Amino acid sequence: MQTQNIDVLGMLIKVLTFPVFLQGPFLAFAWGATDPDWLLLAKRTFLLLPVLVFILGCWISIASLLTVIIRQNRKEYVTALFITWWDLGKAIVSFWGGFFIFIFHVFMMLVELVKILIVGVWTVIQEVLFMPFRVMGNIGNGLMTTTVPWLAIFLTMLWCLLETTIFTYVTAPLVMDTFANITGEAISETFLRIPLFIFLFFIVLGSYAVLAGFMEAVRCKDYGAIVGIGVIEVIVMMVEVVFLYREFVDSLIPWMAQHSENFELGIVGTLAIAGFAWFGIRSLSWFLFASHGTPTILAIIKGKGLQLTKNENPAQAKPVRSTSNLLDHIKNDMAWFQQKGEELLASFILPPLQVIAVGINFCTLLLIGRHLFTVPFKSIRDITDSAVLLKSLGHEHVTQSRDNSRLTESNRTAGFGVVNPKAVK
């Protein structure tokens, strides 16, 4: 009889300590010390944590079953124990599947990153290629909506530069011969053309200024100014005809002589052709753009500013936006990276945390009779703060102490080491 009791007691002890017979082989297999490196790494990655939690669950289950006798809600407690094992099974499967989900997220993120890089490069190329067209569009919209005759100013200055370039090329030999006769030394043509170009540019621009003053006097019917400026305009015309346009006509005489025999133009004919050329060029350029550009240039030179007139019906110029909206693409890509980064982090840390959470649930089920964590975790936000967990367990004084320590630390940081007593209280 005594031997039977000893056998029953031994059998009961073996049943209650059955994890002892399992944990050694399980841990040895999961550790894989004698396996190849790749198999060792695979076992320690996929099996070690589930085996540890499984062994912990076995010991906690034995202790929990022993305490069922002294518990009040025995049925609910045993049901919660079975549910904990069910949660462990789901957590282990999620842990194994989470690895492949993590690899999938990494692969998709790399694919999207390559796509974003390709689209970004193509976007930059588009920005560079279409930038001149957008600039021209902005300039066109500005010219259409502004009351300042910028186009007339630009054409007037361009015409003055063009006319100055032509007269510099035509009169450079004459000026070189004149200086050589005066000084007795030859002057470099390159050295002469730069000051000659500047001198002739102001002469041409001044000619338009005199013409603008003459037209303003005619518009105002100021007869005294008409006579005075008219005399000045005649003198300006004679200076330009004799010194500039005459040289231009002289350069055309060989071409005229090719088409006639015994050709002699004479001084009167030369000056007449030069005068007509001056009158025609000044008239065409004046009525086309100089009549609007010259007064504005004179106002800028005098420092009077631009007298802008209010446009009663301004054209609503549409802003020329970038064809590819580069900044919008960058913002969307940054938001996408933030979202995918959170998903990648969740797929990396949530599966092992779920297995650990189930192990902690075994412990809390034994100690307080309920689970601490709700598994499975759907996102990182499901991982509850430690203060909230302690508060759910009824440790109000611990959470208050943690809050006070955090507040004290923040005050110390904000006050450069000086703690505010009121804030601590």
- Nearest Cα to 123, choosing from 340, 318, 336, 328? 328
Q: Cα–Cα distance between 160 and 153 in angstroms, integer?
A: 11
- Nearest Cα to 61, choosing from 80, 76, 33? 80
* 311-354 residue pLDDT tens: 555 545 444 454 446 666 667 777 777 777 777 888 888 888 88
Name 379's Cβ contacts closer than 8 Å, sequence gap at least 6. Answer: 342, 346, 350
The secondary structure of residue 241, as a DSSP letter, is I
pTM: 0.48
- Residue 169 tokens, joined: 């090329």
One-letter amino acid at 322 equals S
* 144-196 residue pLDDT tens: 666 777 888 889 999 999 988 988 887 888 788 887 788 777 777 777 888 88
- Nearest Cα to 152, choosing from 262, 259, 286, 283? 286
Q: Cα–Cα distance between 374 and 355 in angstroms, integer?
A: 12
Check if the beta carbon of residue 236 is closer than 8 Å to that of residue 221.
Answer: no
Which pLDDT value is given to residue 305? 62
Would you call 258 helix, strand, or coil by DSSP?
Answer: coil
Query: Phi-psi bin for 187: left (phi > 0), alpha (psi -120 to 50), beta?
Result: beta
Name 362's Cβ contacts closer than 8 Å, sequence gap at least 6. Answer: 56, 57, 60, 61, 64, 84, 88
Query: Phi-psi bin for 32: left (phi > 0), alpha (psi -120 to 50), beta?
Result: left
- In this structure, the number of other CB atoms found within 10 A of the CB of residue 4 comes to 8
Q: What is the mean pLDDT of the chain?
A: 77
Helix/strand/coil percentages in the chain, nearest 5: 80, 0, 20
Q: What is the DSSP secondary-structure string of 26-63?
A: HHHHHH-TTS-HHHHHHHHHHTHHHHHHHHHHHHHHHH
- Residue 62 tokens, joined: 């034995």
Check if the beta carbon of residue 242 is closer than 8 Å to that of residue 221.
Answer: no
* 231-279 residue pLDDT tens: 888 888 888 888 778 777 777 777 777 777 666 777 788 888 888 888 8
